[in-house]
Amino acid sequence: MADETSQTPVFQIQRMYLKDMSLEQPNSPQILLEQKQPQVEINLQLATNSVSDGIYEVCVTATVTTKVADKTLFLIEAKQAGIFEIRNIPQEQLEPIIGIACPQIVYPYLRAVVSDICTRAGFPPVLLAEVNFQAMYEAQKQQAAANGNGSTSPSGIITSA
C-alpha cells in the first residue's frame, strides 16, 4: 500500500512571486504633455526551469512598450513566477502541464501587476489580453517539429494593441 501512495500524482503550487519588475519613463516629464494617442506593444515570454527533482519554476514575462510618435512614454517589464511541485506524472503529460496549466495559473497575477504598476505610474491601466496557452504550446510544438528540434517548451508570443 505504501507503494501506491508513493506513486500518486502530485500537482501543487508551492509559491507565487513577482520575480522582477521595472518601470522606465525615459522622456518624462516633457512627453507627458503630448496630446497624441500612445501606441502600445506587448511582448510575452514564457520560461521554465527545473529547480530540483519534481520542482519546477514557471515564469511569464510581459514587456509593455508605450510610445507617442517615436518617443517612449513608458516601458514596463514584469516577471511573475510560480514554483510548482509536479511528481509521478508520465513524461508525455509533464510538458503540457508545465507549458499550459502552470502559465495559466501564473498569468492572472502578471496581468494584475502590470495593470497596477501602470496606475501607480500615473497612466491608465494596460489590461493584458487573455492568452490561450494551449494554442501557444501546440504552435511551439509544431514549430519545433518542423525545425527538427525536440524542445516543445513554449518560449514567447508577441501581441500588440
Q: Does 152 fall in a domain? A: no
Give the integer Cα–Cα distance in Å for 140 and 149: 10
The string of pLDDT tens digits covering residues 94-146 is 999 999 999 999 999 999 999 999 999 999 999 999 999 999 899 888 888 88
Of the two residues 57 and 155, the one the predictor is more confident about is 57
Please enumerate in sequence order all residues whose Cβ is within 8 A of that of 144, keeping only pairs 6 or more positions apart, or say none.
150, 151, 152
Does a cis peptide bond (omega within 30 degrees of 0) precede residue 108? no
Q: What grid cell was written down for 64?
A: 509593455
Judged against a pLDDT cut of 50, whether residue 158 lies above it is answered with no
Whether 18 and 113 have beta carbons less than 8 Å apart is answered as yes
Q: Does 127 fall in a domain? A: yes
Judged against a pLDDT cut of 60, whether residue 74 lies above it is answered with yes
Q: Does 20 fall in a domain? A: yes
User: What is the tally of structural domains in the chain?
Assistant: 1
pLDDT of residue 160: 42
- Mean pLDDT of the residues in the chain: 89
Q: Does 143 fall in a domain? A: no
Q: Does 150 fall in a domain? A: no
- Structural domain boundaries enclosing 68: 2-134
Q: Does 77 fall in a domain? A: yes
pTM above 0.85, yes or no: no
Whether 79 and 64 have beta carbons less than 8 Å apart is answered as no
Question: Which CATH number fits the domain that encloses residue 64?
Answer: 3.10.420.10
